[in-house]
Amino acid sequence: MRRRDRSVLPLPACGERVGVRGPLGLAEISGNAPSPGSLYDPTSPRAAGRGEIHRRSFLASLVGAAAAWPLATRAQQGGKLPTIGFLGSDASAWSPWTAAFAARLRELGWIDGRTITIEYRWDEGRTERDAEIAAEFILLKVDVIVASGFAAATLKQATTVIPIIFTLALDPVGAGLVTNLARPTGNITGISSQGPDLASKRLQLLGEVVPALRRLAIIVDVGFPQAVLEMREVQAAAHTLGLGVAPIEVRRAEDIAPALEALKDQVDALYVVVDALIAANRSRVITLSHRAGLPTIFNNRGFVQAGGLMSYGPNFPDLFRRTAELADKILRGAKPGDIPVEQPTKFELVINVTAAKALDIKVPESFLALADEVIE
């Protein structure tokens, strides 16, 4: 952590201009000479005894301002741009979201390579990489870390000093990332994707497209606790709807193919619990589920654009724009533990009618009218 510079700044001479650099430029303070005989002229009898008071007041205000300068300003004073360490699952799958993140930062005055540095790292679904990347960020002395909810627990263990912003956290409280959404405390805050809370809604929508749905498969990375929490919510919702459930537990990319191939003719649809492992193997999951003749439902449009049947969940680009806003607040001096964890406000239903035709599914017109996007 960078220490605040609490040294006393020299009083500017008359006519001297003192520069104070912030994240967006140089502010100037002018030491203009007082007019002779004025209240502030130290040679004036009226000002005798007051000059030192004004001097001390001015010095105190400058020292107070220096102590309050945010992370970004202190980083620039140290000769480097403020730095964000960004940890995601897969560069290709995340590209629309990182674009939204960078675009919102630019709108807020943070331009990569000019006013800020963003160090992107990708674990490619291998959670063992998260600890290595966390150690790298600490060595780089980044000012803020932005990471998927999948990696946030590892980062939280790695540092209690560097501010952490998680995004796409399925269940921040259930996963132990924070104890309270309104006041997370510590060095962490972020945005939830409300994964478990949306399980029942997804099953209802899936049933409208697949009316013959009787038995549901759920693919889940059991090595990721937040994914297991969502699976349990899906199981509970399925039982309420009278559906049979076949959990498919995977831990590695190599587990996906045999698990999905064994499902052919055994279930009517597939619910995909998305985490880092699944996101990094998006094409594999979609290809194998089509081969098995399984309708699929996901949590975001990226899977549907890549060939999946349908998705319902938060608007992910919007979540990443809001993540950029949290980063902006912290770079300007806010403490992450004082910033409430945010919830999604925009949700979207996306359907791929080309995938539906390949699966011999006729999507009702009433359902298409409800969709936020229809991919043809």
Q: Which helix (H) or strand (E) holds 218?
A: strand 215-221
In this structure, is residue 12 part of a structural domain? Answer: no
The predicted pLDDT at position 74 comes to 52
- In 171-245, which ranges are continuous DSSP H helix? 199-209, 225-240
In this structure, is residue 6 part of a structural domain? Answer: no
The string of pLDDT tens digits covering residues 175-200 is 889 999 999 989 999 999 887 789 99
212 and 222 share one domain: yes
The predicted pLDDT at position 19 comes to 39
In this structure, is residue 49 part of a structural domain? Answer: no
Percent of the chain, pLDDT > 90?
69
| Res. 16 pLDDT band, cuts 50 70 90 | very low
d(CA 167, CA 227): 15
The string of pLDDT tens digits covering residues 236-275 is 999 999 999 999 999 999 999 999 988 888 999 999 999 9
CA-nearest of 83, 69, 65 to 22 is 69
| Res. 76 pLDDT band, cuts 50 70 90 | low
Which class for 35: exposed (0-12), middle (13-18), buried (19 or more C-beta within 10 A)?
exposed
The string of pLDDT tens digits covering residues 79-128 is 789 999 999 999 999 999 999 999 999 999 999 999 999 999 999 988 89
Please, how many CA atoms are within 13 Å of residue 239, restricted to the half-sphere of its CB? 7
Residue reference for tokens 């194998």: 288
The predicted pLDDT at position 175 comes to 83
261 and 371 share one domain: yes
Q: Token digits for 69?
A: 């300068």
What CATH number is associated with residue 118?
3.40.50.2300
Please give the backbone phi and psi of residue 210, each rounded to the nearest 5 degrees, phi first.
-120, 80
The single-letter DSSP state of residue 336 is G
Which domain does 250 fall in, by range?
196-314+347-375
138 and 231 share one domain: no
d(CA 376, CA 371): 13
Please give the backbone phi and psi of residue 91, each rounded to the nearest 5 degrees, phi first.
-60, -40
Please give the backbone phi and psi of residue 322, each rounded to the nearest 5 degrees, phi first.
-70, -30
In this structure, is residue 57 part of a structural domain? Answer: no
CA-nearest of 174, 193, 297, 299 to 243 is 297
In this structure, is residue 3 part of a structural domain? Answer: no
β-bridge partners, 310: 297, 351
The predicted pLDDT at position 226 comes to 86
- Indicate if the pLDDT at residue 7 is higher than 50: no
Number of domains the chain is built from: 2
β-bridge partners, 19: 28
- Cβ atoms within 10 Å of 281's Cβ, excluding its own: 25
286 and 355 share one domain: yes
In this structure, is residue 156 part of a structural domain? Answer: yes
- Indicate if the pLDDT at residue 4 is higher than 80: no
The predicted pLDDT at position 265 comes to 86
Q: Distance between terminal CA atoms of the chain?
A: 51
| Res. 221 pLDDT band, cuts 50 70 90 | very high
- Indicate if the pLDDT at residue 346 is higher than 50: yes
- The one-letter amino acid code at 36 reads P
118 and 188 share one domain: yes
User: What average pLDDT does this structure show over 135-164?
Assistant: 96
- Cβ atoms within 10 Å of 150's Cβ, excluding its own: 30
247 and 367 share one domain: yes
Order of all β-strands in the sheet with 144-148: 117-122, 83-88, 144-148, 164-169, 188-192
- Indicate if the pLDDT at residue 167 is higher than 60: yes
User: What average pLDDT does this structure show over 316-342?
Assistant: 97
The predicted pLDDT at position 197 comes to 81
Q: Token digits for 55?
A: 């001097």
The predicted pLDDT at position 77 comes to 55
